[in-house]
Structure 1
Amino acid sequence: MQQRIFGTTRSQIFLGFSAAMLLVLALTFSLSYVSVSRVLERNAGLYAEEIAGQINGRLDAMLEQVDMLTLELVSDSRVQRLLWNEKLGRPATEQEQLGEIRPMLVHTASFSRLIRTIDLYSTRRALYPLGNGTLQEQVDEDWIRLADESSGRFVWIGQKPGEPDTLLGIRQIRLEKDDYKGGGYIVVAVSAALLDFVEGTVAQMEGSSVFILDQKDDILSSRQHAGMKVSGEELARPGGKLHVAGQTYAKVSLAEELTGWTVVVLLPQDKITEGVSVLQSALLAACAAGLVLFLLGAYVLSTLITGPLRKLTRVMRKARSGEFAPNPETYANREINDLNLTYNRMIDSLHTLIDEVYREQIVRMQSELRALHAQLDPHFLFNTLEAFYWQLIENGQDRQAAHVLRLADLFRYAIRREGERDFVPLEAELAHVANYLQLMEMRLGERLAWSLSLPEELKAVEVPKLLVQPIVENAVVHGLEKSIRPVRIRVEALRGPDGVAVVVRDDGAGMDADRLERVRSRLAGLRDAPGADAERSGIGLTHVHRMLRMYYGPEYGAEIASRPDQGTSVILKLPEPGKGKEEGRG
């Protein structure tokens, strides 16, 4: 009796759909609850970022005025002249300090209501105000060093020691007559009233707070609700959450590029998620109603499915007798109709298989013909380069002519002609590399230095053509062009206990551990995934590694080692001469 009730298709569909619906509703409830909670937190974070962005915008607008005024001052010809004389050992007189420097600084400060004072220092002493001592006595050495490293940009220090209502900034003065080397400094004292607008930045969410921190994480200004006590060190800690006095806050930090200060906005977590409880009740009610409706629908649906299933089963059984004919009937039930369409597609696939194979052969032949037509006549290329060569010789441009000749040799070596052998002496391969490096040296100048080393006994060793040059090209492109300093590339052939090795080293940019691991993974996976996509930076290495394994076996190939800013080393492992090569090298 139990098997009769639960063994029917209708009852199994009904029970299966009901169980699936319970699972779906449970997952929907959980995911909706979590998703909406995250949306609320994300919106609160965007709101906090908007507040921080508005504060940054207002700071930029006010501080940019100070930046522009001081930039004009340090470029003033009078300031440049006085500091140049100081550097030459001709110090300014007291009359010049009071009669020329003082009016100039006072005049500049008068253009901004924020600037209180501007002090001028040479590298040895204070030029104004008089008797102010050296700059090191007024400003910490770290800030002076930062001003030197900032290439003449204005550096905001923060609150002046002992005067919390005053902010300090410093700018190095670079002398035009001394190739823009440092010749002095200006120190600007600005009223901290420029940060008073933060007091009026009131977030609409109850309990929210806003802070501005300087580079040392000291609080310059804040707008915080009553009862909150938090230090700048706590606000500067990484992370999106902050716990203060038993309360959890969502924290958003935004750095201000001009000053290096940080705007921190705190939003109370309980205010962000206070609407979630209402959402929970609504989701439970919706899930209960959906479950009832689905049970009714599942019962009706299971009844409607069984009839079309029996009809389709009869049609499909005809295939047993070899009648591979499509079923033209269309069913109202989408799943049954999809099943019928799949059956019809299978029949169509059987009838069109031969036609598809034929079309693929036609496409392949057409592709080969197009590739043949697209080939460049090498004689035309070499004749053109030869014409350039003789024209340069006639014009007396011997060096450029030599470069054209090297380029012709480079192309002649790289273009494979019919009947040409796949293997060449190692001496010829390294001569091709030398041509390439000489052309690169012409383009890159003193940024590139290189050397080749080939023992006499290894010159006749035969290697696959174009084995070394792709690795050297990688060293130029990824080692040298990504480095800001000159790079040396060394190519060396060695004989070891297990065979011959060609080593390509550079002291350029190198690569980090993650990227190195990806390159090594591609090399190790060539056997299992020979067609796997590769990063552009690894195409040449991957091709060379595959070629060595194909010719010599899996124990040979390429190995790579690299460190950031220390360079990259690639070792090409080959067998002893005459051992392990493929027959019929052509």
Structure 2
Amino acid sequence: MGRWNSLRNQIFVGFVLVMLMVLFIAGIVAYDRVSGLLKTNAEKHIHQTAVQANGRLDALISQVNSLTAQVADDPYVQRLLSNEKGGESATFNQRQALLQIVGSYQSFMNGVQSMEIYTTNYSRIFPMDDRSLDGRLDRNWITEADKEKGRLIWTGPDPEDPGVIMAIRRVSLLDRAFEHGGYVVVRMQRSFFQLNDLDDADDTLDSILLVDTNGSVVTSNLEADLNVETLLSSDRSIVQTRDEPYIVVRQHSEITGWTLAVLTPVSETTEGVSILRTALLISGLFGVVLFLIMSFLLSTMITRPIRRLMRAMRSARPGAMEPNIMVSSTMEIHKLNEVYNQMVYRLNELTQEVYEKEIMQSRTELKALQSQINPHFLFNTLEAFYWSLEDKGDEEMARMVVAMSRLFRYIISSPNKNEWVTLADELEHAERYLRIMEMRLGERLTWEIQLSDSMRTVKIPKLLIQPLVENAILHGVESRIGPGKVSVRVDASTKEGLVHIEVRDDGPGMNDQRLQSVVHALNGGPAVSDKGTGVGLINVDRRLKLYFGNQLGKACGLSVKSEPDEGTIISFDIPKDTEGAYDSWQNDSNRR
């Protein structure tokens, strides 16, 4: 699970998912827009073809209309029909002459099968036979032609010859105030309406279907089996045939009343869409493969320096950590590696410091152990001195020996035991030291210790106050002419939660230069002293910072105030609640 949950795999999968989503959305949008555009263009093309075909059909109808109008208005035909109207029947020669006249008009137009001329009583005078008009056509068409008063009426296929389309118009006699004079019937071949030149010119696969008002097919180049009634009655733009669906565009002719339908297979209009779909799939597949490669390379480029850094971290061992030498073009990776190297350098420094401190501590413990070899011998000896002095009646010296014995017992103990004491115990130890020094200095030393009851049980590291008292006697009382005083005061600090401890003497004090040298020594500079080693204050200051530095921060440590001829005040603050530092010390002691 962890292997597949690596950063490289997450980046790789994330990039691939985003890319697939982008390609999917872009492909759908492009497919929808382009396919819609292709379909719209196809429908426009079909509609344009239908309009063009309908215009072409109207032009052909106009030619037929013009031809029949010329025949109806011919002077010879007008005179012959006028005589028939007046009761004078045409002779054989007169009717024979119509053959040449009608033939001359037919020669001007291809597709005319024949032309027929009838009188008002439906008798045919051309061609020369005795057939009547009502025997050729349904009376409804004759009535329709009478209503239109000279407009050409298309009646549909010839009942006697389905390959011929018939049309009729009434003849108006010009010299009789447009009185009804007869009828002209024209018979046109179906091929006249094929409109094949449109398909050849556009190089399309459009099919054209021409249907008359009766629903009969005038002309068609549609090979599929199609129900004409369904085609004309349906309002849908797509009609399903037995073979395949067709897109249909219908045009209605106002001249003939016929319906022209242009049919295009749906497969032809969607051919471009299929090509588009294939192109999108191929380009999308190519894009996915390319992005997979790029995502893999990019994720590898990002995670490779991180893996190198991880290997360097795994191989690191305390005390032997090596920096990771790596140059990355990525700013964040370079910064991370730089921070790691800085951590390595710092840890090596800290390890060295800890190592040196451990050596120093080991040496110190060794010396302490050496100094504590058979300490009972020292205590027993002091006890022997005490009883000897008691027997001799030298009580003052006996008290001094007892004080020294207790002083040594307080100081000489295991380094890992009794390190923390109460303020009451620490001040009691300082008092024993002051009594011993009082025996040595006599009337030159007076001292005072003030401890509030609320502070007696506060925990404090051992031997923090006594070195300050020792310093006050050494540099204060002994450096002064005449008697001197040392005061120790422990009370609540002005800062909340702290205990203030102050050791004051009325010695000669220090000038600014001397005071600055002491402060400099406390801050890490060389110890300067004209008496002793001068390390007592430094030792106390460092121990305070070691124990309470985390709690007090920069405020931790000794504070030294001194004025010439006014004495010196050395003070420090500790937390009233020292449980945290005390528990930390105990844990360290248990580990050791």
TM-score class, shorter-chain normalisation, is 0.3 to 0.5
Structure (1 or 2) with the larger CA radius of gyration: 2
Normalised to the residue count of structure 2, the TM-score between the two structures is 0.39
